[in-house]
Structure 1
């Protein structure tokens, strides 16, 4: 029998003799990278003062990370399929450790931005590689569903708790520990991963689609930058509109390139699958609605109820608990009902949990409603996310799992990026219409945007019911 830590390469799929430990390693990496999306948010003003950022450049600490994390995900997901998933996973973890060390030691803006760019590239490499290692380590069915449920729960909890962890580290130690923690995790993962993860890649490696890689990566970078700029400066900002236009043109060019090359980066047959096409749209909606709701409720807690940032962030601990429970419940529902019914039920439950927040008032007595509904919404949102991940990766050969998980990761990151600008635009329109920026106007804007958010959840339920094929339960990809 081939040793798991030997350099021998096996064809798809590759079993592991230690699936529990392998899952723990992969989940640890995914959770750490999810935390990185938000861990610096609370610390940004302190970082700006210590390192020398001005107010006009401070946002690049987060923007540079988000651009690379989203823009290169699809490319790295395909590279994982072609050149080896474990190889890319380990390279990404090593890059995460080195870049985090540089970020923690940064003494100048350029040094910190370079570290954040490298962290974004590491995220783009590790997340799809880890997901494809996970989906090929467990066969389709309840075992894979449970693994995806745990992964979704920990990633969602990471997004939610990142700001809390960042605030605690900044207050108790230093913002630099938000970087140094990654170094410790990277060293541990690099020590264990070669022992429990086996390499896998196709016996005959096709050529990488370079023209497609360049056009899709540049297009995604432009789209993500445009969405980020719109969130910061409004949807009439010229830079945002120009970037979105350039991104759209490049993605159209990518489609033309893919029709002409022999080995396309994204085979058309994959995108024609309704489970991939519509499943990822629903995943984008799931991430956009919940992350943007956190943004809206953060404004409510601080600008209307007057809580300090650390208390406001701590209020979302109940959301983190809800996501963990949803991650455990989701696989059971997928096994019993199938992906489509699970997504429909999850979106309906999320809409029902979000709708009462439209009634929020200006006194702190509403905190009980907020805590209960965000907990229930977290459970429902993770049920949707588990259904989305199972649906978007089911029925595909193991040789395309890196691509499938890359597309799913891209949907997740674009959803996170686009949700807040859209809700911010709704809120801003209401506030500007009222002609004042006081607490009352912010409250009106928040509750209006929350109503739009609940409406998007209902839209997701309707789209899932109409567009997704009816799949057999237990994770089987056979269409009824």
Structure 2
């Protein structure tokens, strides 16, 4: 598509000095509901996997593909669709992806066999890859840079993180009380509601001129991300030395290196390298990657601890994470106010330190239910700290770029988020497995989880150091 007829560029509407307009409130509600639902999909089936396998006849070896098929597409296609939204319109991409999500969820809920269920999960992953950056770009272009945008990003981050946690709870409740199929059906009315309301209130957002699509860049980055995510999921399932894990990671790394070479020579690159050279974009996205690697994988570690060491049921373990979800919501509400009163970097550092300390406290977990008195407040405060970092990352990674680049900025941010969610669990799983040597007694699991928690806290602290060393001089009041 060559540059031809100029298209009207859109800009954020001016809000009254005291807050959001009525239309902005509706836009915010629609986008937040959609993003919350997309986040829920990442974890809602985790608890239900055994029931799905038994009901549809999945073999134990193939059961992992219910999660892997979704993760591959959700992470692998995010950057591509984020850029496509810049070219043909974020609203158009957002609505089409919500329609696909609703149709795929209905098909998944009605699936009579494993093959159709996997196809539905692939379609859900593609819909998530398209809707997440488009929805985030619509959010950033609907609100002017400053307090209103920070407030919107804070609420968005809180609900997305809470959605990931809520998915574990909802999956257990729906599977126990109704059927695993309701974990799919839940998306259908949400998608329909968004499709009914969004066209009337959300304005189209796209650049004034359509550039060409960088097909070589799109192909190499998408295949590269698919390779990396596939390698990570295989590493989590079979170990880091498994041939499929090594092959996937190696192929992904080579393709991403080729992508960078392609972008250096492309006349109209998919990802202009000068954008990647911006410290706010590069370091901000690395901080976001670490934030999602650490907190989502901590949920996995604590699930192991609650079920294998303390003997909790899947439902009881899921409900325990409600406290973590409350912490993320609190952090999302606090972050915009804290950024306004101090600076983005101060919030990144303060939130990271709070998350580091709260995670390190979990090193003192014991083998009796009395440890819940330590776990619950620590996960609440850790959730607050993690959400401060996530909102700070979103503000950092999307600030200082024009509206025509917001699809790219939010595509990169969404990619960091989804790759982080995907790679966190395999990393921590590998640490637990190496520490326990495959022994699954209560004491062995506790020891393995403790070592992994120490590594988790170290990664959070690494993020704090990155913010101090590379973003400090970019702080703004």
TM-score band (shorter)? Answer: over 0.9
Of 114-123 and 11-20, deviating more is 11-20
Query: SS of 2:473's equivalent?
Result: coil
Match of 1:477 in 2: none
Query: SS of 1:421's equivalent?
Result: helix
Contact between 2:324 and 2:379, CA under 8 Å: does it hold in 1? yes
Match of 1:220 in 2: 225
Pairing partner for 1:190 from 189, 195, 204:
195
Match of 1:94 in 2: 99
Determine the C-alpha separation between the residues in 1 that align with 2:215 and 2:283. Answer: 27
Cα deviation, residue 203, structure 1: 2.5
- 2:137 matched to 1:132? yes
Contact between 1:229 and 1:239, CA under 8 Å: does it hold in 2? yes
Contact between 1:226 and 1:240, CA under 8 Å: does it hold in 2? yes
Matches within 5 A, 1:185-334: 185-334=190-339
- 2:450 matched to 1:447? yes
Contact between 1:215 and 1:250, CA under 8 Å: does it hold in 2? yes
Matches within 5 A, 1:410-429: 410-429=415-434
Cα deviation, residue 420, structure 1: 1.3
Determine the C-alpha separation between the residues in 1 that align with 2:362 and 2:35. Answer: 31
Pairing partner for 2:476 from 448, 469, 473:
473
Of 301-310 and 41-50, deviating more is 41-50
- 2:76 matched to 1:76? no
Contact between 1:10 and 1:199, CA under 8 Å: does it hold in 2? no
Determine the C-alpha separation between the residues in 2 that align with 1:111 and 1:436. Answer: 36
Cα deviation, residue 302, structure 1: 0.6
Determine the C-alpha separation between the residues in 2 that align with 1:467 and 1:183. Answer: 44
Pairing partner for 1:34 from 35, 39, 59:
39
Determine the C-alpha separation between the residues in 2 that align with 1:196 and 1:146. Answer: 19
Determine the C-alpha separation between the residues in 2 that align with 1:310 and 1:96. Answer: 26
Cα deviation, residue 12, structure 1: 3.1
Pairing partner for 1:10 from 8, 11, 18:
8
Determine the C-alpha separation between the residues in 2 that align with 1:204 and 1:305. Answer: 59
Cα deviation, residue 32, structure 1: 0.3
Matched pairs, number: 465
Gap regions ≥5 residues in structure 2: 1-5, 15-20
Determine the C-alpha separation between the residues in 2 that align with 1:49 and 1:442. Answer: 26
CA pair 436-218 structure 1, distance change in 2 beyond 3 A: closer
- 2:379 matched to 1:374? yes
Cα deviation, residue 15, structure 1: 3.0
Determine the C-alpha separation between the residues in 2 that align with 1:426 and 1:436. Answer: 13
Determine the C-alpha separation between the residues in 2 that align with 1:472 and 1:252. Answer: 31
Contact between 2:30 and 2:194, CA under 8 Å: does it hold in 1? yes
Deviation per CA, 1:390-440: give whole Å up to 9, x if none.
0000000110001100100100111111111111122122212xx843211
Determine the C-alpha separation between the residues in 2 that align with 1:362 and 1:200. Answer: 54
- 2:436 matched to 1:438? no
Contact between 1:9 and 1:199, CA under 8 Å: does it hold in 2? no
Match of 1:179 in 2: 184
Determine the C-alpha separation between the residues in 1 that align with 2:340 and 2:235. Answer: 40
Cα deviation, residue 10, structure 1: 3.2
Query: SS of 2:265's equivalent?
Result: coil
Gap regions ≥5 residues in structure 1: 1-7, 475-480
Cα deviation, residue 19, structure 1: 0.5
Contact between 2:12 and 2:144, CA under 8 Å: does it hold in 1? no
CA pair 204-47 structure 1, distance change in 2 beyond 3 A: same
Query: SS of 2:210's equivalent?
Result: coil
TM-score, normalising length: structure 2: 0.96
Deviation per CA, 1:191-245: give whole Å up to 9, x if none.
0000110112223211100010000000000000000100111111110001100
Contact between 1:14 and 1:199, CA under 8 Å: does it hold in 2? no
Cα deviation, residue 52, structure 1: 2.0
> What is the root-mean-square deviation of aligned Cα atoms in Å?
1.3
Match of 2:48 in 1: 43
